[in-house]
């Protein structure tokens, strides 16, 4: 018989997308669904950078350099300079989204069976890239009580084995919104130095920090060879569909290896490189408006959530996600119920059950991730729905769900 590969079988289906059929069914019934489940911002892509694409003047849509257009990489150097990261364009490989940067990083540094430690909850697709690269994810717990701060050194040390080759962080974090402090980053430095590990740092949400300054892993000194930055323009400029990211490292050997993977797939997309290059020239205050908008939404969301009985939502310092603990036993069931059986004024809300963000089975059962990618008005309506839903669900849970057979 023709067989599917083991890795293909292990490959997790997207935990966020599994509820999609229920959302589609709700919409077919005429129910309006507020999508707080995915990280697709509603913020408009800046017009000048869309115009840059509209105004291209080449006649042949050629392959670009495998590492990305040199002109774009040189521009990126300036961007990184502005955010306090000093690198040269020969330390940047433009990738097809941040996704490819993660895959290339894993493929180049890790072998089958090697382990990476990731504080959980974490971005679910790390699992996918780990399966593709046949790498083992070792989750260590972070906790909602302290806002999902970096786990203590002992937790890392407990998880380290001879097969451990790296630590993966996302800063500010998806799904928790937690922003690692400089002190926490220095703690990570100690661990990677002592145990000789790579630090894969996903900084997709760098621009969106509300209660502190972002401290990049690339700013750590004396660990130049350890740090692999995985970056993307997707969230920065609301340009998710462009599929432009970057892998940045000062480790020459890693760079030379990644470039071989990049050559095999020929080049990153050309059109979106034009957009990305133009984006570096956006005025310095471009992010101010976007950031202020996200912060306003965060404040509304967190306040509304914490005002609901039994709900706890720590204040996220960055990104556009919040994790909340709900007074329900199983958010997978609850989120499905929200779409399948609930509506309030003919509206409902779609949330991401947190279970998909945990590597440890059974963790996060009463948590959800909320992406505040809707305007304040819609966010409030979504929170109205959630508030009513929690009350209704509570009375439901007390009812017997089935009648036991009597004979």
Site for a second copy in 314-343 (CB under 8 A): none
Looking at 235-243, 288-296, 307-315, 319-327, which segment touches a second copy (CB under 8 A)? Answer: 235-243
Binding residue (CB under 8 A) for a second copy from 134, 293, 333, 340:
134
Binding mask 5-44 for a second copy (x = CB under 8 A): xxxxx-xxxx--x----------------------xxxxx
Using CB under 8 A, count the residues that bind a second copy.
Answer: 77
Residues numbered 201 to 230 that lie near a second copy (CB under 8 A) are 225-226
What is the per-residue binding string for a second copy in 244-273, x denoting contact by CB under 8 A?
-------x-xx--x--xx-xxxxxxxxxx-
How far apart, in whole angstroms, are the C-alpha atoms of residue 361 and residue 195? 27
Q: Is 375 in the site for a second copy (CB under 8 A)?
A: no
Q: Interface residues for a second copy in 159-178 (CB under 8 A)?
A: 165
181 counts as binding a second copy under rule CB under 8 A: no
Show the tokens assigned to 394.
Answer: 């509570």
CB closer to a second copy, 55 vs 406: 55
Q: What is the rounded CA–CA span in Å between residue 54 and residue 275? A: 9
Q: How far is the CB of 324 from a second copy (least distance, A)?
A: 24
The nearest distance, CB 110 to a second copy, in angstroms, is: 5
Asked if 56 touches a second copy (CB under 8 A), the answer is: yes
Of 12 and 310, the one with the shorter C-beta distance to a second copy is: 12
122 binds a second copy (CB under 8 A): no
Q: Does 239 bind a second copy (CB under 8 A)?
A: yes
Choosing from 23, 36, 94, 110, the residue that interacts with a second copy (CB under 8 A) is 110
Stretch that binds a second copy, among 99-107, 167-175, 335-343, 391-399 (CB under 8 A): 99-107
Could you tell me which residues are beta bridge partners of residue 22?
Answer: none
Q: Exactly one of 26, 67, 77, 107 binds a second copy (CB under 8 A); which one?
A: 107
Question: Which residue, 265 or 303, has its beta carbon nearer to a second copy?
Answer: 265
Does residue number 364 form part of the binding site for a second copy (CB under 8 A)? no
**Contact flag: residue 156 with a second copy (CB under 8 A):** no
Q: Which two tokens stand for residue 353?
A: 């059950």
> What is the closest distance, in whole angstroms, from the C-beta atom of residue 186 to a second copy in the complex?
19
Nearer to a second copy, 125 or 366 (CB): 125
Phi, psi at 203, each rounded to 5°: -120, 40
Of 138-146, 169-177, 240-248, 302-310, which part binds a second copy (CB under 8 A)? 240-248
What length does the chain have?
Answer: 407
**How far, CA to CA in Å, does 24 sit from each of 17, 65, 204, 342, 372?**
11, 41, 29, 14, 21
Return all residues near 387 (Cβ < 8 A) that are at least 6 apart.
304, 308
User: Whose structure tokens read 């935990």?
Assistant: 15
* Range 185-194, long-range pairs (CB < 8 A, 24+ positions): 185/215, 185/217, 185/219, 185/220, 186/220, 187/150, 187/153, 188/150, 188/217, 188/220, 189/220, 189/222, 189/223, 190/153, 191/153, 191/156, 191/157, 191/167, 192/167, 192/223, 192/226, 193/222, 193/223, 193/226
Rule CB under 8 A: say whether 89 interacts with a second copy. no
Quick one: tokens of 26?
A: 């709700």
* Torsion angle of the four alpha carbons 340, 344, 350, 352, in this order, in degrees rounded to the nearest 10: -90
Choose, by CB under 8 A, the member of 68, 97, 139, 353 that binds a second copy: 97
| Nearest-approach distance from CB 18 to a second copy, in angstroms | 10
Angle subtended at Cα 49 by Cα 44 and Cα 51, rounded to the nearest 5 degrees:
100
Spatial CA neighbour of 157 closest among 167, 148, 147, 170: 167
- Minimal distance, residue 100 CB to a second copy, in Å: 7
Query: Does residue 191 interact with a second copy by CB under 8 A?
Result: no
| Per-residue tokens: 67 | 């590492």
Nearest residue (CB) to a second copy, 148 versus 237: 237
């Amino acid at each position: 018989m023709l067989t599917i590969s083991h890795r293909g079988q292990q490959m997790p289906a997207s935990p966020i997308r599994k509820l999609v059929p229920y959302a589609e069914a709700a919409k077919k019934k005429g129910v309006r669904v507020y999508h707080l489940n995915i990280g697709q911002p509603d913020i408009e892509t800046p017009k000048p950078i869309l115009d840059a694409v509209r105004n291209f003047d080449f006649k042949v849509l050629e392959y670009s350099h495998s590492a990305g257009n040199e002109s774009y990489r040189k521009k990126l150097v300036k961007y990184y300079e502005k955010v306090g990261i000093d690198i040269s364009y020969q330390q940047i490989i433009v990738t097809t989204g941040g996704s490819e940067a993660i895959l290339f990083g894993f493929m180049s540094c890790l072998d089958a069976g090697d382990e990476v430690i990731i504080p959980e909850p974490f971005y679910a697709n790390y699992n996918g890239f780990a399966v593709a690269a046949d790498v083992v994810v070792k989750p260590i717990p972070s906790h909602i009580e302290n806002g999902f701060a970096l786990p203590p050194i002992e937790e890392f040390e407990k998880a380290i084995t001879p097969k451990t080759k790296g630590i993966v962080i996302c800063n500010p974090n998806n799904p928790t919104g937690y922003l690692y402090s400089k002190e926490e980053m220095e703690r990570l430095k100690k661990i990677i130095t002592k145990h000789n590990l790579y630090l894969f740092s996903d900084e997709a949400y760098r621009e969106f920090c509300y209660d502190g300054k972002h401290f990049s892993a690339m700013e750590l000194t004396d660990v130049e060879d350890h740090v692999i930055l995985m970056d993307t323009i997707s969230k920065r400029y609301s340009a998710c569909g462009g599929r432009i990211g970057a892998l940045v490292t000062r480790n020459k050997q890693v760079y030379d290896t990644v470039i071989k993977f990049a050559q095999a797939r020929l080049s990153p997309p050309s059109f979106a490189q034009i957009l990305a290059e133009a984006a570096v020239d956006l005025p310095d205050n471009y992010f101010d408006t976007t950031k202020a908008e996200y912060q306003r939404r965060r404040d509304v969301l967190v306040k509304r959530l914490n005002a609901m009985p039994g709900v706890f939502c720590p204040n996220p310092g960055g990104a556009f996600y919040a994790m909340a603990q709900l007074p329900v036993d199983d958010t997978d069931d609850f989120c499905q119920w929200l779409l399948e059986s609930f509506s309030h004024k003919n509206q409902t809300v779609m949330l991401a059950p947190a279970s998909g963000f945990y590597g440890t089975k059974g963790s996060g059962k009463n948590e959800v991730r909320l992406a505040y990618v809707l305007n304040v008005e819609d966010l409030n309506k979504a929170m109205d729905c959630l508030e009513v839903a929690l009350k209704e669900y509570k009375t439901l849970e007390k009812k017997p769900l089935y009648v036991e057979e009597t004979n």
